[in-house]
Amino acid sequence: MTTPASPPAPINDPFGYGFAVAGTILFSTKGIFIKLAYAHGVSTEMLLSLRMLVALPVYLVIMLTLLASGDKVRRLLTPPVVLASMAVGILGYYIASYLDFLGLNFLTAQYERLVLFTYPFFVLLFGVWFFGDRMLWRVVPAMLVSYAGLLVIFGWNLAINPDGLVTGTLLVLASAISFALYQHLAKRQMLVLGAGLFTCIGMSTAAVVAIAQNLILVGPGAYLTLTPQVWGYGLALGVLGTVLPSFLMNMGMARIGARATASTGAFGPIVTILIAVWILGEPFTLFHALGTALVLAGSVLFTRAERAAHRAVQ
């Protein structure tokens, strides 16, 4: 039995691209807030749970509002659809996030964002391997250019500060792979439930898992020991780095598809680099400039190749 191809989506949708770009920019602030919180000695599990504690009430209120809008919405929530949405939410918002948070213990915010930036390539590969998409061979050079950029910065880090570099890179790369698979699976759930309802179900489930994990590890009393600054970073992570971008990205994905949404990610590294250098005082050398330029150039080439392929099909 053949796997159905990814559902077609309009490629020239300015609102879809606008949502995706805005979501990407907001998501790019996540690493900054994480690094600031880590400077206060917060554990990965605690910080992830703080992010979800802030986000969970928002998603629950929106979900209840959507469910109260009519029987038509409630009829969509069959057990298979709900369970699938919960599983996809755990993959994209818990597993991918946890791996990324863990990786930031070892990497700079700039390098972490550039490694995550490779997820469009995995979106393409998963689409070909598992979802019946065509392989676009013309994007392969773009992928090689971007990975060459990552190797430049990886080499610089290996020479200057190698401790934990390989571990951190592998963790963030695993996060990118998880998020790429999530993009394909989420698109299919959104076709059934809509972007808003799916986002609420997926994120609420991931939030419960993350909070439960931290409660098991340290207990509820640990939250009382946190400083106001740490709570502030948790609030910023929950609102700016989670709630707003998750809805924006999913609305963009619902309009233009997973691969087109992934192609808008070039804005993320630029914003992250600017903030990381300004706020965190991270170095930005000639090697960083060269590596970043290669990664972004690869992204531009990737996007152009994809659009050319879509025009050829149409």
Model confidence over 206-253: pLDDT tens digits?
999 999 999 999 999 999 999 999 999 999 998 888 888 877 887 887
Question: What 3 state SS string does the chain have?
Answer: CCCCCCCCCCCCCHHHHHHHHHHHHHHCCHHHHHHHHHCCCCCHHHHHHHHHHHHHHHHHHHHHHHHCCCHHHHHCCCHHHHHHHHHHHHHHHHHHHHHHHHHCCCCCHHHHHHHHCCHHHHHHHHHHHHCCCCCCHHHHHHHHHHHHHHHHHHHHHHHHCCCCHHHHHHHHHHHHHHHHHHHHHHHHHHHHHCHHHHHHHHHHHHHHHHHHHHHHHHCHHHHHHCCHHHHHHHHHHHHHHHHHHHHHHHHHHHHHCHHHHHCCCCHHHHHHHHHHHHHHCCCCCHHHHHHHHHHHHHHHHHHHHHHHHHHHHC
**What is the pLDDT, as a whole number, of residue 7?**
45
- Extents of the domains making up the chain: 31-63+79-313
Name the pLDDT band for 5 (thresholds 50, 70, 90).
very low
Global pTM value: 0.83
Model confidence over 94-121: pLDDT tens digits?
999 999 999 999 999 888 888 887 777 8
